[in-house]
Structure 1
Amino acid sequence: MTATSVRPDWSALPAEVRAYAEYRLGSRVTAATTCRAGYTPGLACRLLLEGGHRAFLKGIQQDHPFAPQYVAEVDITPVLPEGVGPQVLWSAAPEHGAGWWLLCLEDLPGGNPVLAPGSADAEATLAAVEQAGKALTPSPLPTAPQITDVVGKWLTGWAQLAETPPGDLDPWAARHLARLADTEQLWQRDAGGETLVHWDLRPDNMMRRADGTVVIIDWTYPHQGAAWIDPVVLIPQLITAGYGPAEAEAAVAHLPMPEAEVLTSFAVGLAGYWENSSRRPNPPGVPFLRAHQARAAAVARAWIAHRTGWN
């Protein structure tokens, strides 16, 4: 997958971090490959160890602005039911990891799934999302906040843009800005629930196993909510991969789905979040995030136009 983040290489880590990791691994690292997909700037390395064993190591300095996401992943990943997420080999808090949060996982060499229509990867991805929804209900983190309490604050992009409409706003969005702002929060009425949701399903947050099954990785948002959240989050990813909006909705129709008005509102909320966020400066070490969000906003606008028929 194309590089989207600037990540540190294994060789650039402080010597004490490398020494601690090798101590926990029980072996010296003989080769390391940095994985540059994703939209956070932390360490993400595939490691080859003496004797031929492999592992995947990720981490970040304790005072980095993105550290809370890694803390959440250290907390969430070990409690996932078997088969839903990657196997955890070990983890470390900064007091043990020389000032770094570290998470060591099984190595998954199959690459990211390609969600093209009719592909085996698309079928395997849908199966993984279905399995996760069942296995994570009820949530293994029962004290996790409801998604409406966190994400509900984020999906207000159209209302924020309506306060001072940008001159370069897409013409379709500009024509319907007031309607979009009025619609973007209706989804919250039916979003409560006891399913642990990933919220950020994308191909680069999934990996193939050798047997062709798909594993969901990067569990960085400790939210619970309705079982339909993750299947709906997958729809714009399928559209990006080549599905038409109607085809993408049909592909997930066997999974939990909300009523039509709620689905439309969630699509509107996602589009507004991406549109508004794409106009902010890139975070340090993540130079391609805003361009990614601008592309995602365009996909979501096409999805909304399909659902609403607004011209």
Structure 2
Amino acid sequence: MAGDLTDDLRALIQPHTGKITAVNPAGGNDSDVTALIESENGSFFLKAMHNRPGGRRNSITRERLINPYVQPISPPLRWHTENDDWIALGFQAVTGRRADLRPGSPDLPVVVALLNRIGELPLPDVAQDWEENRWDRFCTDEAEADLLKGNALLYTDVHESNMIIQGNSAWAVDWSWPTRGAAVIDPAQLAVQLIVAGHSATSAEHWAARCTAWEKADPHAIDAFAAAALRMHQARSERFPDAKWLGTIVAAARTWADHRGVPA
């Protein structure tokens, strides 16, 4: 949504924002509205979705529920509100830039440190039932899928746009789908994103291996994820053939799977 908010959404959030003085749309594909709001009550990052049953509503609900347990790694949620038409979250606004994952970037150790901080978070009771199962159908059998099970709190949206850096500070934003699973999944996602950013598979694993969860992982679990991730991205790319960015991720996932010698 560009330029401004609909009248009904504006009316819904104004009890929390006060008078809204500026709306700056932000990027994002998973919400109906993402914007930086300037208002008499301060600056907020707004994330809003149409209030309809289904996965997207479940996602924004999870993001609200997990927020108290992922601070200060993630900006705090200052308010939330909903009616029959909308569900909206207002986060404390943070300034910075997205992480640079390219080879030689000074952000690489900062990103690794951020993932290690996430890996140290305890699994809260609210996430006990959020078992990670998105890769199950892309595994060859139940035993392979079991390698991706675990009791770690997972971020599962490792991407340069979701890691915000300002000086020595870093935040992981957009906790749209936290789950409970094998701790290695987050650094394994980083490996794919590093290849997308221009790293060789060897370089990507060099940086991912600096994550504590990778160091402690069963190598067979890493193999299982690499193969399942390739199959998942291939399936998504076939479903959305016009999304060229999916093709880029497929190529990166294939490079990594080939490096590890796992079948597609």
Q: How high is the TM-score relative to the length of structure 1?
A: 0.75
Match of residue 252 from structure 2: 299
CA contact (8 A) 1:186 1:262 kept: no
2-structure distance, mates of 1:10, 1:80:
33
CA distance in 1 between counterparts of 2:103 and 2:72 reads 24
Query: Quick check: 1:49 aligned with 2:69?
Result: no
Is contact 1:185-1:269 (8 Å) kept? no
Q: What is the match of residue 214 of structure 1?
A: 170
User: Does the Cα contact within 8 Å between 2:136 and 2:145 map onto a contact in 1?
Assistant: no
Residue 199, structure 1, aligned to residue 160, structure 2: no
Q: Which amino acid aligns with 2:97?
A: G
CA contact (8 A) 2:36 2:93 kept: yes
Q: How large is the RMSD of aligned CA atoms in angstroms?
A: 2.4
Letter in 1 for 2:257: I
Query: Following the alignment from structure 2 to structure 1, what is the Cα–Cα distance between the partners of residues 53 and 10?
Result: 18
Structure 1 CA distance, aligned partners of 2:262 and 2:235?
Answer: 23
CA distance in structure 2 between the aligned counterparts of 1:54 and 1:296, rounded to whole angstroms: 34
Asked if the contact 2:98/2:164 (under 8 Å) is kept, the reply is yes
Is 1:89 the equivalent of 2:72?
no
Q: 1: CA distance between counterparts of 2:73 and 2:142?
A: 30
Greater relative CO (CA pairs within 8 A, separation 6+): 1
Post-superposition Cα deviations, 1:112-170, rounded to whole Å, max 9, x if no partner, equal 111122322222111111001102x33453423321xx2134535xxxxxxxxxxxxxx
Residue 21 of structure 2 corresponds to residue 30 of structure 1 = yes
Pair 1:141-2:126 in alignment: yes
**Is the Cα contact below 8 Å between 2:147 and 2:220 reproduced in 1?**
no
Please list every run of at least 4 consecutive aligned residues from structure 1 whose deviation after the TM superposition is greater than 6 angstroms: none
**Distance of 2:53 and 2:4 partners within structure 1:** 19
TM-score of the superposed pair, with normalisation by structure 2 = 0.88
Kindly provide the amino acid, as one letter, of the partner of residue 265 in structure 1: A
Match of 2:198 in 1: 242
Partner of 1:173: none
Deviations 1:169-226 (A, max 9, x none): xxxxxxxxxxxxx4x8654233222211011211122222x33422111112241012
SS, match of residue 279 in structure 1: helix
SS at match of 2:183: coil
Q: Which runs of 5+ in 2 are unaligned?
A: none
Q: Distance in 2 between the 1:11 and 1:142 partners?
A: 35
Residue 234 of structure 1, CA deviation: 0.9
**C-alpha contact 1:185 1:266 (8 A) present in aligned 2:** no
Q: Which residue matches 1:264? A: 223
Match of 1:101 in 2: 87
Distance in 2 between residues matched to 1:46 and 1:270, nearest whole Å: 33
| Structure 2 match to 1:11 | 4
The answer on 1:71 being equivalent to 2:36 is no
Q: Identify the match of residue 110 of structure 1 among 76, 86, 96.
A: 96
Partners of 2:148 and 2:225 within 8 A in 1: no
Listed one character per residue, the Cα deviations across residues 31-79 of structure 1 (whole Å, up to 9, x for unaligned) are 111012x33242100112248x3211110110276333222222222x3
Contact 2:118 2:155 in 1 (8 A): no
Alignment identity in percent?
A: 22
Q: Tell me by how many angstroms 1:82 deviates.
A: 2.3
Q: Cα distance 1:101–1:297, how it changes in 2: closer, same or farther (>3 A)? A: same
Paired positions, count: 259
**Structure 1 unaligned residues grouped into runs of 5+:** 1-7, 157-181, 283-287
Larger radius of gyration: 1
Say whether the 8 Å CA contact 2:149–2:181 is kept in structure 1.
yes
Tell me the SS of whatever aligns to 2:230. Answer: helix
Q: Secondary structure at the match of 1:124?
A: helix
CA distance 1:81–1:151, shift in 2 (3 Å): same
- Greater fraction of residues in strand: 2
Taking a change above 3 Å as real, the CA distance of residues 309 and 82 of structure 1, as seen in their structure-2 partners, is: closer
In 2 relative to 1, CA 142–64 (structure 1 residues): closer, same or farther, beyond 3 Å? closer
